[in-house]
Amino acid sequence: MSRTDGGSRQGRARALAKRLAEKPLVLVGMMGAGKTTVGRRLASRLGRQFVDSDEEIERAAQMTIPEIFEQRGEAEFRAGEMRVIARLLKETNIVLATGGGAFANAETRGLVKAEALSVWLKADVDVLFERVSRRANRPLLRTANPRATLEALVAERYPIYAEADVTVLSRDVPQDDVTGDVIAAVLAHLKQSQDRS
């Protein structure tokens, strides 16, 4: 990468960090969209703390996500997810990667919309399926036909994810490029909203 590229890349990250001011940045979207991995890179580029609601839930419960689903059920997981996200959103200088079902939950979505700037990392089913197939850590996909389950969740959730402030395509390119796309898209969104006001 040339020095100019590096400079403008850093410049954009700095400009965004400044414009975001006191708002948490929250990533939403399907399992495999890259919320956790891109979120971590994003936080580092913006000089923010990275938090992941799944990691926080696992830490608080002293159990893995599959264990929580097995032993306590999805409803209890969702209630815990909402409480954890409400707590995490009290911190403003963060990038928060949510679990895929968080924004689909009306109460949690309400919290995110009220307190944060939300980014939907959107990806094709083929891309999602390839990525989630690498690990067996997603209890909702432990079905006879995980691809069909993923497709059904996509159909159900995409209209809801579309309520996020910004949508970014999580393309099949290096994660750093997707991270750059998020920075550019959020910056454009903030500039637009400022121009309108």
Summarize the annotated binding site for Mg(2+) as residue ranges. Answer: 36
CA 112 to mean position of chain CA atoms? 11
By CB under 5 A, which span of 34-42, 55-63, 88-96, 170-178 interacts with Mg ion?
34-42
By CB under 5 A, which span of 36-44, 113-121, 159-167, 169-177 interacts with Mg ion?
36-44
Residue 131 found at the interface with ligand S3P (CB under 6 A): no
**Whole-number Å distance between alpha carbons of 103 and 100:** 7
Using the minimum distance from each CB to ligand S3P, give the nearer residue, 160 or 187: 160
Six-digit token string for 5: 């590229």
Using the minimum distance from each CB to ligand S3P, give the nearer residue, 95 or 140: 140
Q: Site residues for ligand ADP, window 9-68 (CB under 6 A)?
A: 31-38
Of 118, 89, 101, the C-alpha closest to 185 is: 118
Q: Is the dihedral of CA 50, 53, 55, 60 positive or negative?
A: positive
Residue 34 found at the interface with ligand S3P (CB under 6 A): no
Q: Is the dihedral of CA 71, 97, 161, 34 positive or negative?
A: negative
C-alpha Rg value of the chain to the nearest Å = 17
Using the minimum distance from each CB to ligand S3P, give the nearer residue, 117 or 132: 132
User: Could you tell me which residues are annotated as the binding site for ATP?
Assistant: 32-37, 138
Of 106, 45, 56, the C-alpha closest to 81 is: 56
User: What are the backbone dihedrals phi and psi of residue 111, each rounded to the nearest 5 degrees, phi first?
Assistant: -60, -50
Q: Site residues for ligand ADP, window 83-112 (CB under 6 A)?
A: 97
Candidate residues 3, 90, 134, 196; the one interacting with ligand ADP per rule CB under 6 A: 134
Using the minimum distance from each CB to ligand S3P, give the nearer residue, 18 or 142: 142
Using the minimum distance from each CB to ligand S3P, give the nearer residue, 13 or 39: 39
Pairing between strand 25-28 and 166-169?
unpaired
Six-digit token string for 78: 């969702």
Six-digit token string for 14: 């700095």
Query: Residues in the site for ligand ADP, rule: CB under 6 A?
Result: 31-38, 97, 131, 134, 170, 172-173, 175, 178
Query: Residues in the site for ligand S3P, rule: CB under 6 A?
Result: 31, 35-36, 54, 65, 99-101, 138-140
Query: Residues in the site for Mg ion, rule: CB under 5 A?
Result: 35-36
